[in-house]
Amino acid sequence: MNRSVFPLPLVLMIALVGVMLAFTAPAFAQAESEPSGGEISLESDAPSDAAIARRIATIFGEIDTLSGVEISVEAGVVTLTGQTMTAEAASRAQALASRVEGVVTVENRIGRDVSVATRVAPAVGELETTLQDLVRVLPLLALAVAVFVVLSLLGWLLSRWDALWRVLTPNRFVAELVGSTVFGLFVVFGLVSALNLLDATAFLGALLGAAGVIGLAVGFAVKDTIENYIASIMLSIRQPFRPNDHVIIDGQEGRVIRLTSRATVLMTLEGNHLRLPNALVFKAVILNYTRNPERRFDFVLGVDPDDDPLSAVETGLSAMKRLGFVMTDPDPSAGIREVGDSTINLFFAGWIDQTRSDFNKSRSVAIATVKAALDQAGFTLPDPTYRLRIDSGVAPVAPAKATPVKPAEPKPVQPARTPTVDASDVAPDTSLAERVEEERREGKSGDLLSEDAPSE
């Protein structure tokens, strides 16, 4: 019996390799038969090159910026040539061409047109179009302007109708303010009407918004001026003082010249002009000496502590009552103010009519008269007396026997001289008031005060 030449294990190994090759061969064949990715397949129903070129040309013809682009198509490859004004237009042409059915790829060879004529022509064309539109809208624009002018003119005429505003508002300054407000309202109404005719209400909204922002900014910037203006309105309505009144405002004394839209002008007692901001005047404490013609003056005189103070009061009061400018209703008054270190201070007061007597003159005459009466009655008006004590620090020494000294003979007491007092020269000093009236006549147009307006 013959044995095989090849060992059995080797035969089995060869058989297994053969089986594996038999199963893997179809897979390799299938892999080799598939085309690689990205290849262009042939389609029987694909559009022709001419159809693609016509389609792209139709699209570019509807776009002004792409009208100068030339198209050529070969085997689905589109080549774009020509010129455009911007690089964005060239990129747009390439994007549109690539979206057309049947286009394989796009070759962008478009250049930029930098010629002056090409650049200027569109601007000229737009200008011509704008001019044509303006010519068409000229009648409507003329109507809008006419409406605005008519309404503004009507508002101006109403604002100048002083008689009407004086009837509605007796205060002249408020009347002017109302007239100006009416004029502003008519101007705004005319502007709104004109913009509505032109169908430009969106512009009106933007304009009003900008005006609001600007008005807010300006309001913060000029808030002091606005505060003065509002204070002027309130002062012109309230009238806390009249022209030529003698007042003290925030510690400043003088006579009122005029009230303007920004400040109150005073003439000080020295004849100088003083301008006070109306915002300060409106909030300040105002002392008016002219409003009440009756005014009281007072003063203090001291007598010796050894004198009878009640008798001195009676003597001084009787002297004041004899003065013709001192009013009897109310009567003058007097009393003991205080007991000082070396005097007893007496208080005297009297009333005068400022329309017939000057305050300072009357007070001066009254002081001189009362002092003369007290001197004539024997009362002493002493100077302050001080006692000084000096300690030397030396031990006290027994005093020597005093030698009697012959007392000096008393000097004869001279009768007190009564000064001559001219009690008739107390007429009011009108020099400052006359200067104020002269100032008012020169600048009367800017004055907001009125003699006829109500005053508080």
Tens digits of residue pLDDT in 368-409: 999 999 999 999 887 766 666 676 555 555 555 444 544 444
Measured CA to CA, the distance from residue 179 to residue 165 in angstroms comes to 7
419: left (phi over 0), alpha (psi -120 to 50) or beta: beta
Does position 420 have pLDDT exceeding 80, yes or no? no
- Assess whether pLDDT exceeds 50 at residue 6: no
Residue with more model confidence, 2 or 366: 366
Domains and CATH numbers, the chain: 49-112 (3.30.1340.30), 120-221 (no CATH), 227-290+434-446 (2.30.30.60), 294-376 (3.30.70.100)
> Omega into 243 within 30° of 0, i.e. cis?
no
Calpha distance 179→321 (Å, rounded): 57
**Which two tokens mark 405?**
């000294």
Among the residue ranges 83-92, 121-130, 346-355, the one predicted with the least confidence is 121-130
Confidence of residue 285 (pLDDT cuts 50, 70, 90): very high
Contact residues for 122 (Cβ-Cβ < 8 A; gap 6+): 85
Q: Which residues, 6+ apart, have CB-to-CB distance to 343 below 8 Å?
A: 302, 303, 304, 305, 381, 382, 384
DSSP 144: H
Contacts of 304 (CB under 8 A, 6+ apart): 343, 344, 379, 380, 381, 382
**pTM attached to this predicted model:** 0.54
pLDDT at 418: 43
Res 396: pLDDT: 54
Q: Which strands form 344-353's sheet, in the order they lie side by side?
A: 294-303, 344-353, 333-339
In 141-283, the DSSP E strands lie at: 246-249, 252-259, 263-267, 273-277
Tokens coding 145: 């302007």
What whole-number distance in Å separates Cα of residue 117 and Cα of residue 98?
31
Task: For residues 232 and 262, give the distance between their C-alpha atoms in angstroms, rounded to a whole number.
Answer: 7
Amino acid 30: pLDDT: 42
* Rounded alpha-carbon distances, angstroms, from residue 12 to 3, 9, 21, 24, 331: 16, 5, 15, 19, 158
Q: Phi and psi at residue 81, in whole multiples of 5°?
A: -130, 180
Paired strand residues for 351: 296
255 Cβ contact partners less than 8 Å away, ≥ 6 residues apart: 244, 245, 246, 247, 266, 267, 432, 433, 436
Length of the chain measured in residues: 456
| Strand partners for 349 | 298, 333
Q: Return the SS3 of 97.
A: helix
Mean pLDDT in residue range 154-175:
74
Q: Which of 104-108, 195-199, 252-256, 448-452 has the highest mean pLDDT?
A: 252-256
Alpha carbon distance 187, 182 (integer Å): 9
